[in-house]
Amino acid sequence: MTKPTILVAGATGKTGSAVALRLLQMGWPVRAIVHNTDSRSDRLRRAGAEVATADLFDPEQLVRVMSGTARAYYCPPWHPFMLQSAAAFAVAAQAARLEAIVGLSQWLASPSHPSLATRQNWLADHLFALLPGVAQITVNPGFFADNYLRLIGFAAQLGIFPMPTGGSRNAPPSTEDIANVVVAALTEPERHAGRTYRPTGPTLLSAGDMATILTRVLGRRVTHLDMPMWAFMRAARVLGISPFEQSGLRRYIEDHRRGAFEWGAPTADVWEVTGRPPEDFETIARRYASLPEARRTFGNGLRASADLLRIGLTPARNIDRYERDHHHPVPANPRLAAEDEAWRASHPLRVGPASATPVASAPA
């Protein structure tokens, strides 16, 4: 039987590229949507993907590139007009008569969250659910392991792990495990239709626990530095994180500190969906430790020290003013997920992979 073509949006991103490459390895035809052609799209083409250039905000282009495909992965762009992209994708999905959409969402998604990106993820989930005849599968991980391991350079070169999360915990999933859950849903949509999955790692960890693991991985003492929020926002600017991403990130950190990512974690979803245990943080960290910026060299140490100095000298953006200037809509009663009874009610505690009882308690 001929396998249907699967469309992968955001195919040069972290989850998108992992999804596309895994599908190709399994022999599925893949049409990869890219915004620009570069070395990443060339890699997909060499692996066997049909690469299509399209703007995710343009419904006419999406109708064109989606024609002839049967299933799709939607990875939302980090953009203030993300909902325009989701609506365009939904219109194209109807025109193409897709069988299924697997959408990447957020664990925090709710209609009243103070982050615009998070509210738009909630709206996109509900929009896809309204499409007649299209199976919807939602994958809503929390904070990826990648979000922590962006700081591998500071840990490797300076022995510090600067995270503003206090003692709160998370069971961070790897990009690969998230992609494997997406792939399982795309290849067997009839089995997963209507389901929502939250991939996690196997263990709840604080930033201090992660620093201990990094000490083992890097072969040097690494200490968790609990950065104040003002310093973290300076660091976000130095690291080139866009103002819109900062707008969401500061709210995620607030939710993190209040225990939103501990709620219901870890889950058994990776094991149950893929048949494989989730990767632990040490396994993921060892991949990042092999990156060039993690090598202990004079040049890398100098760059890390210079970045730390720049954080001290760089003013943080005024994100409140950014949101006002860009006319971000504001809910009548904005609530962080950890403080939202409706969010908790819609995110029931789950049974973890090694326990017969719920593995997390309600955040304080």
Per-residue pLDDT of the chain (364 residues; tens, 9 = 90+): 789 999 999 999 999 999 999 999 999 999 999 988 889 999 999 999 999 999 999 999 999 999 999 999 999 999 999 999 999 999 999 999 999 999 999 999 999 999 999 999 999 999 999 999 999 999 999 999 999 999 999 999 999 999 999 999 999 999 999 999 999 999 999 999 999 999 999 999 999 999 999 999 999 999 999 999 999 999 999 988 999 999 999 999 999 999 999 999 999 999 999 999 999 999 999 999 999 989 999 999 999 999 999 998 999 999 999 999 999 999 999 999 999 999 999 887 765 554 333 333 333 2
pLDDT of residue 349: 73
Report the distance separating Cα 160 and Cα 348, nearest Å. 36
Category of 362 on φ-ψ map: left (φ > 0), alpha (ψ -120 to 50) or beta: beta
Report the distance separating Cα 214 and Cα 78, nearest Å. 29
- Sequence-distant (6+) residues with CB within 8 A of 298 are none
Q: Write the pLDDT tens digit of every residue in 297-348.
A: 999 999 999 999 999 899 999 999 999 999 999 999 999 999 999 999 988 7
pLDDT of residue 357: 36
- Structure tokens, 93: 């999905």
Which residue, 47, 45, 102, is CA-closest to 70?
102
CB burial class (10 A; 0-12, 13-18, 19+) of residue 312? exposed
Which residue, 32, 136, 41, is CA-closest to 93?
136
pLDDT of residue 350: 63
Cis peptide before 228 (omega within 30 of 0): no
Domains identified in the chain and CATH numbers: 6-142+175-197 (3.40.50.720), 146-171+201-264+280-346 (3.90.25.10)
pLDDT of residue 297: 94
- Sequence-distant (6+) residues with CB within 8 A of 2 are none
> Is residue 246 a contact partner of residue 326, using CB atoms and an 8 Å limit?
no
Report the distance separating Cα 223 and Cα 154, nearest Å. 10
Q: Can you spell out the DSSP letters for 229-298? A: HHHHHHHHHHTT--HHHHHHHHHHHHHHHTTTTTTT-S-SHHHHHHSSPPPPHHHHHHHHHTSGGGS--H
Enumerate the β-bridge partners of residue 205: 170
Report the distance separating Cα 263 and Cα 273, nearest Å. 20
> Can you give the pTM of this predicted structure?
0.92
